[in-house]
Structure 1
Amino acid sequence: MSDLVFIAFDSEHKAEEVREKVLGLQKDYLIEVEDAVIAVRDANGRVKLNQILHPAAGGAVSGAFWGMLVGWLFMMPLAGAAVGAAGGALGGSMADPGINDDDMRAQANAALKPGTAGLFLLIRKMTTDKVLDDLKGVGGTVIRTSFDNAKEEALKAALAAHVPAPPVVAEPAPAETAPAETPKA
């Protein structure tokens, strides 16, 4: 069973930064994400979803390919490709894998202030301690999760944790040269 997490951020840039970090952790096999969507509430209060999965585009490409193949049978490959692309795009837009768009818009509308953003993650599985350690101090406010209480509190603590800045090594000051004393005669 997958877990849903919704984290609010001060800016779209910060939400994108954290999404990229999570997707990087996926490449390291520390987390398996089914969907990662950024919801941005603009100054007018409208919510825009920035998704990484675009099923309509994939359906159009697949439909064009199969339409062209069928079109070859009837000596009309271009017409077959066009009809196939349209049908594939329609089918792809109707199939909405991952998190329900209407639910994300409703939650983002209720939780986000204009000019802020949120990150929705649908997590299939994760190595909790390592993922939370990598997300330590990134900021954000947990709005909603389907985690158990202990895991949710650990996520909140990790996001809020202060990461100390690396120590600054001061360069030694250049030594001053004293004027040489002149011998007395």
Structure 2
Amino acid sequence: MTDMIAVAYNDEATAKQVLAELHALKTEHSLHLADVVLVTRNEEGKVKIHSSDNPVVDGAVSGAIWGGLIGLLLLQPLLGAAIGAATGSVTAAASEDEDDNTAFINQLGHRLQPGGAAVIALIIDVTEEKVLSRIAPYGGDLLHTSLTLAEEQRLRDAINPQPARTGEPTA
């Protein structure tokens, strides 16, 4: 099953570093991505979605995947997939720089602080230990996932660990 994970960062540079790590992990076969996008919000509050490397080729397929997943979250997967595929192919052909084929991704972008960015990934398969150890140093704020509660908590703990308490008595 494909899982969606959206993590926000304070700045675009950090989000781009995480994106580069994800692509490296994909090359190393530690991560199988269906799609990944970078979402930025400029200082004026405008949200921009930066699509995958091959938007014309991937448009209909990634649109169907995104639409299907969003449809599943809204309990209408077939309608979501159909809308996503149609929208994905049309917008990908029309624009390589901006792909706003889902209001859902745009909505997540509006939750970012001005100047912030997020990485939103559709993950098919993952070697959890390898991926978490590589992305944990970047921190981040978990915006949304389709993971189980236990999986989501492991991710939260990895990217936003609680600082060790000092001054407490030890046993």
Superposition TM-score tier, normalisation by shorter sequence:
0.5 to 0.7
Instruction: Decide whether aligned partners of structure 1 residues 115 and 28 sit closer, same or farther in structure 2, where only a CA change above 3 A counts.
Output: same
Q: Match for residue 112 of structure 1?
A: 112
Q: Is the CA contact (8 Å cut-off) linking 1:137 and 1:161 kept in structure 2?
A: no
Question: Partners of 2:91 and 2:22 in 1: how far apart?
Answer: 29
Query: Following TM superposition, by how much is the alpha carbon of 1:102 offset from its aligned partner in structure 2, in angstroms?
Result: 2.5
Question: Gapped runs of 5+ residues in structure 1?
Answer: 60-88, 163-185
Identity value in percent? 26
Greater Rg over alpha carbons, structure:
1
Classify the secondary structure of the residue corresponding to 1:120.
strand
**Deviation per CA, 1:43-89, whole angstroms, max 9, x where unpaired?**
12110111224433789xxxxxxxxxxxxxxxxxxxxxxxxxxxxx9
Q: Which residue of 2 aligns with 1:72?
A: none
User: Judging changes above 3 Å, is the alpha-carbon distance between structure 1 residues 136 and 55 closer, same or farther for their aligned structure 2 residues?
Assistant: closer
State the AA in 2 paired with 1:108. G
Cα distance in structure 2, aligned partners of 1:22 and 1:104: 19
Question: 1:99, 1:4 → 2: CA distance?
Answer: 17
Q: Deviations over 1:80-108 (max 9, x none)?
A: xxxxxxxxx958538xxx99532211121
Unaligned runs of 5+ in 2: 60-88, 163-171
In structure 1, what is the Cα distance between the partners aligned to 2:17 and 2:91?
32
Distance change >3 Å, CA 157–CA 103, structure 1 → 2: same
TM-score in terms of structure 2 length: 0.66
Give the SS at the match of 1:44. Answer: coil
Distance 1:128 1:27, change over 3 A: same
Q: Which amino acid aligns with 2:93?
A: S
From the superposition, tell whether residues 90 and 131 of structure 1 become closer, same or farther in structure 2 (CA, over 3 Å): closer
Query: TM-score normalized by structure 1?
Result: 0.62
Q: Which residue type is aligned with residue 104 of structure 2?
A: D
Kept after mapping to 1: 8 A contact 2:91/2:101: no
Q: Which stretch of the first structure deviates more once superposed, 44-53 or 141-150?
A: 44-53
Moved over 6 A (4+): none
- In structure 1, the residue matched to 2:102 is 101
Aligned residue pair count: 129
Q: CA RMSD in A?
A: 2.7
Provide, for residues 152-174 of structure 1, a one-character-per-residue CA deviation record: whole Å limited to 9, x for no partner. Answer: 11111111249xxxxxxxxxxxx
Q: Which residue number corresponds to residue 46 of structure 2?
A: 46
Q: 1:36 corresponds to which residue?
A: 36
